């Protein structure tokens, strides 16, 4: 299986429609808005809001519904992050990232010659980290849900969709057919995701997931224990021990999601609240926005050569820091305050030439230790209006490692590939890492997921996040810039073509229609190298813009994302 294709399919739409310029208006509503990867999952969230649930209840219901309607990513066999800003002024972030099993070890992805064993961290049972989604979603429900609805009521839409099935779209049928061979590697996956008559799926077919229904019912009844101990845990442990995987019942029982302090920054008059380590997302987002504050962006045209040059230069510096300084904070001392400080950003920015690309070979990680203690944390003031929640979950690449737990009906993740298997050797997203992100038992692999809430005058202004591996951080940043600097409406902002760079490889990756010929020529004359993005489309951003006259939902046209409001 071509690993590039696998990621591609998680991230983008098949339809090569003329996306740009024809983006529809955002969905407008007054009382509530959910934007997610499928219309059925968004509807599940709205249903919960209408029943008296709050944004946390709705986010949890939507996430569980995605486990059914978006099995390629929104799955209980994986993990994720949540950032929330509540009406009473609380904001918090929850890390439910997968964790390396206790038997994991540093060189587990190297062959006897010391080279990275192709595919081991992606397509085998060794690729699986201990799943975190169920623990995280139930924890946040208990701590911050409205308590107006029971766990069973919150899971009801997901259970219904799994038990009764749902009608699949042409787009989803294409995805399932494309992954036919991938599913055939796992009899349990084939039984569910290959049509029983062996024929290709078609729009209008119904996908029923009986085993997943039983698992969800178990979770509804027993809570966390319905997944991390008892029969579901037995099934996961059996799947592992019979196929060379490492996760044991003890690993499952010990898994714990963790509240972490969100990372905070400012960009002009906006405050950014986002996910800190073990995600690199919020930290890099704030570092890059800090550097971009030095640039008069509003005098540069959108996606002009100057704009793309500055974005690329700040991106390569931030991603160089990511590779050297970032990992699970329980195992590695991440110099967070420095990396997100204005002072550090100014010094990093000072190395950027306005008209010449700096080759990545001449860009190194900064030396945050020189700054330690010279910067204070950022403060955010939160008011009492509106709850906002931003959640990103994942299995890593599409359908994770491709193995469904027999009897339990869900795919297992391949998040272990987000560790640095060997210093300097790129992972599936081309990201390199070092000691900070080496495999260790009980450690969480460094993520790029960037669930973010932007505040203005302490009120939520934009809720934003996306899939897309290493491109997540730069996609979130471009959407913020599209809204804040270029005054696009939220639908235009999420649909607009994007560019991306990440230090290594030393290129600017472009989406179709993102860069005109003359801009390309100008950037090349500055020393940049442009290449089409490997998987053609970058991310699928789902965002909500909060304005005086209501809520505006922006669902990315790259996929089947849907905004639903009431």
Q: Which range of residues in 59-67, 236-244, 463-471, 554-562 is near ligand DON by CB under 6 A?
A: 463-471
User: How far apart, in whole angstroms, are the C-alpha atoms of residue 359 and residue 378?
Assistant: 32
Token pair for 51: 């029943």
Query: Is cis: bond before 408, omega within 30 of 0?
Result: no
140's CB contacts (< 8 A; 6+ apart) are 56, 59, 60, 82, 84, 94
Q: Which range of residues in 54-62, 88-96, 152-160, 445-453 is near ligand DON by CB under 6 A?
A: 445-453
Q: Is 469 in the site for ligand DON (CB under 6 A)?
A: yes
Which residue bears the tokens 């690309």?
A: 357
Q: Is 100 in the site for ligand DON (CB under 6 A)?
A: no
Near ligand DON by CB under 6 A: residue from 6, 11, 100, 108: 11
Burial of residue 330 (number of CB atoms within 10 Å: 0-12, 13-18, 19+):
middle
Q: Which range of residues in 4-12, 28-36, 45-53, 308-316 is near ligand DON by CB under 6 A?
A: 4-12
Q: Which range of residues in 28-36, 172-180, 462-470, 484-492 is near ligand DON by CB under 6 A?
A: 462-470
Which residue bears the tokens 């995987």?
A: 245
Nearest to 535 by CA among 3, 8, 6: 8
Q: Which CB atom, from 36 or from 396, has the smaller least distance to ligand DON?
A: 396
207's CB contacts (< 8 A; 6+ apart) are 165, 166, 168, 176, 192, 193
Least distance in angstroms from the C-beta of 11 to ligand DON: 4
Least distance in angstroms from the C-beta of 434 to ligand DON: 17
57's CB contacts (< 8 A; 6+ apart) are 48, 49, 141, 145, 146, 148, 149, 154
- Using DSSP, state whether 166 is helix, strand or coil: strand
Q: Which range of residues in 5-13, 172-180, 257-265, 488-496 is near ligand DON by CB under 6 A?
A: 5-13
Q: Which CB atom, from 306 or from 560, has the smaller least distance to ligand DON?
A: 560
What is the sign, positive or negative, of the torsion defined by CA atoms of 273, 63, 490, 28?
A: negative
Least distance in angstroms from the C-beta of 532 to ligand DON: 17
User: How far apart, in whole angstroms, are the C-alpha atoms of residue 59 and residue 465?
Assistant: 13
Near ligand DON by CB under 6 A: residue from 101, 262, 451, 467: 467
- Could you say which of 376, 393, 474, 521 is catalytic? 376
User: How far apart, in whole angstroms, are the C-alpha atoms of residue 556 and residue 425?
Assistant: 32
Helix residue spans in 130-259 (DSSP H): 133-144, 151-164, 170-178, 180-184, 187-193, 210-222, 225-228, 230-241, 249-254
Least distance in angstroms from the C-beta of 402 to ligand DON: 14
User: How far apart, in whole angstroms, are the C-alpha atoms of residue 463 and residue 272?
Assistant: 10
User: How far apart, in whole angstroms, are the C-alpha atoms of residue 513 and residue 428?
Assistant: 25
Least distance in angstroms from the C-beta of 509 to ligand DON: 14
Q: Which CB atom, from 155 or from 538, has the smaller least distance to ligand DON?
A: 538
Q: Is 32 in the site for ligand DON (CB under 6 A)?
A: no
Least distance in angstroms from the C-beta of 220 to ligand DON: 27
Strand 263-267 to 530-532 pairing = unpaired
Q: Is 394 in the site for ligand DON (CB under 6 A)?
A: yes
Near ligand DON by CB under 6 A: residue from 6, 10, 245, 465: 10
Q: Which CB atom, from 248 or from 470, has the smaller least distance to ligand DON?
A: 470
Provide the b/e sequence for 118-136 (b: ≥16 CB within 10 Å).
Answer: ebbbbbbbbbbbbbbbbbb
Q: Which CB atom, from 75 or from 305, has the smaller least distance to ligand DON?
A: 75
Q: Which CB atom, from 93 or from 305, has the smaller least distance to ligand DON?
A: 93
* Distance set, CA 435 to CA 100, 102, 104, 421 (Å): 15, 18, 15, 10
Token pair for 206: 């119904």
Near ligand DON by CB under 6 A: residue from 83, 449, 481, 484: 449
Q: Is 248 in the site for ligand DON (CB under 6 A)?
A: no
Q: Which CB atom, from 186 or from 475, has the smaller least distance to ligand DON?
A: 475
Q: Which CB atom, from 75 or from 396, has the smaller least distance to ligand DON?
A: 396
Q: Is 84 in the site for ligand DON (CB under 6 A)?
A: no
| Residue 437 backbone dihedrals phi, psi, to 5 degrees | -120, 30
Q: Please confirm, yes or no, whether 376 is among the known catalytic residues.
A: yes
Q: Which range of residues in 31-39, 146-154, 468-476, 482-490 is near ligand DON by CB under 6 A?
A: 468-476
* Distance set, CA 71 to CA 162, 177, 438, 473, 522 (Å): 11, 14, 28, 23, 43
Q: Is 136 in the site for ligand DON (CB under 6 A)?
A: no
Site mask, ligand DON, residues 343-382, x = CB under 6 A? ----------------------------------------
Near ligand DON by CB under 6 A: residue from 132, 245, 282, 468: 468
| Residue 388 backbone dihedrals phi, psi, to 5 degrees | -135, 135
Near ligand DON by CB under 6 A: residue from 95, 418, 506, 511: 418
Near ligand DON by CB under 6 A: residue from 248, 396, 452, 501: 396
Q: Is 452 in the site for ligand DON (CB under 6 A)?
A: no
Q: Which CB atom, from 132 or from 467, has the smaller least distance to ligand DON?
A: 467
Question: Which long-range contacts does 515-518 make (Cβ < 8 Å, 24+ apart)?
Answer: 515/303, 515/308, 516/303, 518/305
Q: Which CB atom, from 80 or from 226, has the smaller least distance to ligand DON?
A: 80
Which residues in this chain contact ligand DON in the complex, by CB under 6 A? 7, 10-11, 394, 396, 415, 418, 447-449, 467-469, 472
Catalytic residues: 376
């Amino acid at each position: 299986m071509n690993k590039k294709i696998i990621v591609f399919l998680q991230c983008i739409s098949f339809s090569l429609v003329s996306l740009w310029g024809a983006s529809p208006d955002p969905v407008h509503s007054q009382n509530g808005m959910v934007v997610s990867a499928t219309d059925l999952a968004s509807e599940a969230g709205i249903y919960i809001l209408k029943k008296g649930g709050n944004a946390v209840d709705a986010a949890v219901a939507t996430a569980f519904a995605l486990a059914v309607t978006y099995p390629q990513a929104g799955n209980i066999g994986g993990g994720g992050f949540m950032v929330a800003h509540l009406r009473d002024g609380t904001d918090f972030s929850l890390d439910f990232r997968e964790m390396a099993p206790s038997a994991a070890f540093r060189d587990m992805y190297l062959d006897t010659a010391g080279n990275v064993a192709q595919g081991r961290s992606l397509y085998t049972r060794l690729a699986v980290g201990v799943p975190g989604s169920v623990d995280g979603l139930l924890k946040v429900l208990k701590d911050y849900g409205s308590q107006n609805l029971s766990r069973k009521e919150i899971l009801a839409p997901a259970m219904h969709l799994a038990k009764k099935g749902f009608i699949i779209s042409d787009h989803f049928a294409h995805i399932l057919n494309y992954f036919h061979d991938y599913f055939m590697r796992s009899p349990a996956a084939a039984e569910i995701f290959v049509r029983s008559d062996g024929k290709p799926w078609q729009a209008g077919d119904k996908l029923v997931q009986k085993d997943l229904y039983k698992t969800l019912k178990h979770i509804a009844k027993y809570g966390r224990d319905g997944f991390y101990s008892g029969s579901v845990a037995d099934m996961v442990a059996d799947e592992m021990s019979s196929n060379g995987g490492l996760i044991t019942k003890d690993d499952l029982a010990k898994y714990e999601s963790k509240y972490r302090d969100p990372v905070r920054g400012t960009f002009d008059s906006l405050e950014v609240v986002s996910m800190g380590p073990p995600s690199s997302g919020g930290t890099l987002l704030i570092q890059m926005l800090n550097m971009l504050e030095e640039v008069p962006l509003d005098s540069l045209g959108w996606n002009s050569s100057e704009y793309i040059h500055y974005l690329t230069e700040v991106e390569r510096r931030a991603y160089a820091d990511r590779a050297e300084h970032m990992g699970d904070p329980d195992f590695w001392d991440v110099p967070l305050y420095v990396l997100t400080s204005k002072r550090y950003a100014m010094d990093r920015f000072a190395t950027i030439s306005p008209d010449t690309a700096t080759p990545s070979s001449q860009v190194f990680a900064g030396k945050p230790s020189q700054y330690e203690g010279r910067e204070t944390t950022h403060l955010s003031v939160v008011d009492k209006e509106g709850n906002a929640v931003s959640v990103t979950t994942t299995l890593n690449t599409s359908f994770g490692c491709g193995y469904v737990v027999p009897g339990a009906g869900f795919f297992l993740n391949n998040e272990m590939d987000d560790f640095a298997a060997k210093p300097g050797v790129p992972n599936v997203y081309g990201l390199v890492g070092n000691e900070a992100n080496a495999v260790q038992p009980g450690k969480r692999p460094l993520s790029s997921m960037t669930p973010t809430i932007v505040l203005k005058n302490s009120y939520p202004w934009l809720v934003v996040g996306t899939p897309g591996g290493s491109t997540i951080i730069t996609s979130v940043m471009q959407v913020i810039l599209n809204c804040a600097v270029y005054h696009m409406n939220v639908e235009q902002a999420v649909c607009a073509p994007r560019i991306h760079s990440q230090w290594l490889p030393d290129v600017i990756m472009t989406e179709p229609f993102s860069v005109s010929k003359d801009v390309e020529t100008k950037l090349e004359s500055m020393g940049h190298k442009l290449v089409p993005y490997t998987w053609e489309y970058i991310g699928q951003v789902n965002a909500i813009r909060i304005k005086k006259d209501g809520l505006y939902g922006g669902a990315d046209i790259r996929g089947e994302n849907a905004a639903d409001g009431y």
